[in-house]
Amino acid sequence: MKPLDHDTINAPHDAGGHGGSARVLLVGADAALQQRVLEAIQHRPYRCQCCATLDDARRTLSRKRFEILILDCDSTVGDWQQFLSNTRETASHVKTIVTADKATPALTVQAMRCGAVDLVHTADALDELANRMDVALQHSREEQSKQAKLMRLKKVCRELNSARREVTEQVDSLCQELVTAYEDVAEQVSEASMATELRTLLRQELDIEELLRTTLEYMLTKSGPTNAAVFLPDGMGYYNLGAYVNYDCPRESIAMLLDHLCSAICPQMEDERELVYFEDAEEFSQWIDMEPGILDQSQVIAFSCHREDECLAVCVLFRSQDTPFEDELAGVLHLMRTIFAEQLGRVIKIHNRLEPEWPSEAFDDELDVDDFGFGYGDSGGIAA
């Protein structure tokens, strides 16, 4: 049996209440049944195509889109139940009507389980086929409409999800920028607060010894326990110890160490405008050309304090590598040396107005100094 196409162009009404003709695939029917089916739907807007075998029907369904499938289970050769089950899985919008000479309850249940929406008795109910097809077409187009809406919703969901990811990335980026800005502002506020606090403390000190003492005390609150020394110029191109803090160095050798540091590091640091940091004391010793000695296994920080082009002081901090300096200390020391240089320059002007020359006479009494106590250095400064 050859496939038969039948088109009904002029129809008195619209099947299922939807515009446009519907495509119908008739499977397994003999020539007489095909003719009866075509006569039953001749006044309906259906375009009917016939297939003799299930294999032909599978190929036709894979190439074209149909809305109604009519299968005659009496004349179809093969496993029509499996064919209907596969069709329901691959093309759920296709609504199947099964025809049979004897519509038994068992056959009806079997057809329904395979996905059929109706079973028509060809002996006496074929005249109702067109009405049954109208109902099946309505169900098919309703399901197609639902599937189209579902596809649109899925597309919208994909677009919304993509937009959500984009917005999330932008929000994350903005949050990171806000965190960075907050950290910068917090750091600036902290620096401004510390600068105000230190200026308030140092402006009260118009005596060189008290200025050095206050500066070292404040520096220790920021750096923690450490060895520190401040060297002051004497106006003749040389430097003398102004003040020091002895944290963990042997007391019998600290004076010799500081004397060597003064003669070695001050000429190096006099014109240096940046903080100098050495994690390895051996590298520091090579830089200033002296033996590591007591500085072995220590970290060293050195910086100079300038007023315009004049070096007013050279400061050195060092302690064991077991308690390394924190990275934040560099910013603190940079701010401190600027404020210290301002006040030191102010004190020098006051002394120059009050005395004809810088006091060089050291204190006669020798101080008995414990760790973290303060005494005076060779230039009239303090020592601890």
CA 217, chain centre distance (Å): 43
Contact present, 38 and 76 (Cβ < 8 Å): no
Which strands sit side by side in the sheet containing 227-233, from one edge to the other? 239-245, 227-233, 310-320, 298-307, 276-278
- Mind listing the pLDDT tens digit for each residue in 90-132? 888 889 899 888 878 888 888 899 888 888 887 766 668 888 8
- Mind listing the pLDDT tens digit for each residue in 200-221? 888 888 888 888 998 899 889 8
Contact present, 18 and 48 (Cβ < 8 Å): no
Q: Which CATH superfamily is domain 204-354 in?
A: GAF domain (3.30.450.40)
Per-domain residue ranges of the chain: 5-148, 204-354
Indicate the class that CATH gives domain 5-148. alpha beta
pLDDT in tens, the chain (384 residues): 344 444 433 333 444 444 468 899 999 878 888 888 888 888 888 888 888 889 999 999 989 889 999 998 888 878 898 999 988 888 888 898 998 888 788 888 888 998 888 888 877 666 688 888 888 888 888 888 888 899 999 999 999 999 999 999 999 999 999 898 888 888 778 778 888 888 888 888 888 888 899 889 988 988 889 999 999 988 787 889 998 898 888 888 888 888 888 888 888 888 888 888 888 777 877 787 777 666 778 888 999 998 888 888 999 998 888 888 888 888 888 888 888 888 888 888 887 665 555 444 444 443 343 444 444 454 444 444
pTM tops 0.75, yes or no: no
